[in-house]
Amino acid sequence: MRRYPHPIVAREGWLFLGIAVAVSLDIHVFFGLAWALPCWAIALFILQFFRDPPREIPEDPQAVLSPADGRIVAVERVRDPYLERDAMKISVFMNVFNVHSNRSPVDGIVKQRWYHAGSFLNAALDKASLENERNALWIETADRQNVTCVQIAGLVARRILCYVDSGAGLKRGQRYGFIRFGSRVDVYLPLDAEVKAALGDKVYATESILARLKAG
């Protein structure tokens, strides 16, 4: 098992958690527990939102891993708007109680990155894929398979974070980004990929297999 080399609480949440705890403590000390309870509840919510536990990576080298925690809201043949190809799209919707750390679905090289400003529609809606703020990565595997992984902002999400760019190497399960407060990730795969995920499935980043790529 390879462990994700970061703290259990994602670094993106340290500032939010620190402020929430400091405010809660001040109110607790000066006004008492009853007044501080709502603030402590907010602090606990922030703590659970920014949790980032280590995950076990499946051994199958052809597996396409889920890049996010959540529920499968789309499995369909579509047009990949980034690589201009017919593809299988698998979409994972994250609510505010899911882990929001994003991890690479495959081993490969980032060939290109696209960022598009946009709306903040409910990320569970299919039109969010093309209308919401989004960040897309084109990842090419060692055997020339192309995977497009798209972070999409949601109704509440207002910040997409991505830490890699063109030329970066990614390993399956490697953390590459984060989306704050409810969102979605779309994965576009070659048409001959063997889909394993089904509509409505609950999936976990890195541990759940969405599909298998055809061996080169």
What are the catalytic residues? 183
Q: How many CB atoms lie under 10 A from the CB of residue 171?
A: 13
CA dihedral of residues 54, 163, 48, 59 (deg, nearest 10): -20
Q: Amino acid identity, residue 142?
A: A
Q: How many residues does the chain have?
A: 216
Radius of gyration of the chain (CA): 18
Closest by alpha carbon to 126, among 76, 69, 193, 53?
A: 76
Tokens of 68: 């996010």
DSSP 181: S
At 138, give phi and psi (nearest 5°). Answer: -95, 115
CA distance 97 to 151: 17
**105-130 exposure pattern, b = at least 16 Cβ within 10 A, e = fewer:** bbebebeebeeeeeebbebbebebbe
Closest by alpha carbon to 189, among 58, 27, 45, 76?
A: 76
